Amino acid sequence: MKVILVKKTENELRFEVQDETHTLLNLLQKTLLKNSAVELAGYTIPHRLVGSAVFYVKTNGEEKPVQSILKASKEIMAEAEEFRKVFENAVKEYEKSHPT
């Protein structure tokens, strides 16, 4: 994955993400939109064969877009860690009740 900043202002950020598709970008978008400082978050994939996407974030001035993205990234990592722990516990419980 490679990220290239295209435009950066006080309240807007546009960047290109290479070698990434909807999986991560949709999660980032949805997480950003939970933040009250984010007015707009979205991305486009110009062509599915190109392998890159353009992501856009606009904030209301309470936070800078870079801060919003870093905050969302931390939230995503925390959710992934929580899922890992819950999943591991579910596997252990299953294995206890279904011995091989």
Rounded-to-integer distance, Cα 25 and Cα 31, Å: 10
Residues 12-21 have pLDDT tens digits of: 999 999 988 7
Sheet-wide strand order for 52-59: 2-8, 12-18, 52-59, 38-44
Instruction: Report the DSSP beta bridge partners of residue 52.
Output: 18
CATH number at residue 92: 3.30.1360.10
By residue range, what is the domain housing residue 46?
2-97
E strands along 9-75, which residues? 12-18, 38-44, 52-59
Residues 9-64 have pLDDT tens digits of: 999 999 999 988 788 999 999 999 999 999 999 999 987 777 799 999 999 999 99
Strands 38-44, 2-8: parallel, antiparallel or unpaired by DSSP?
A: unpaired
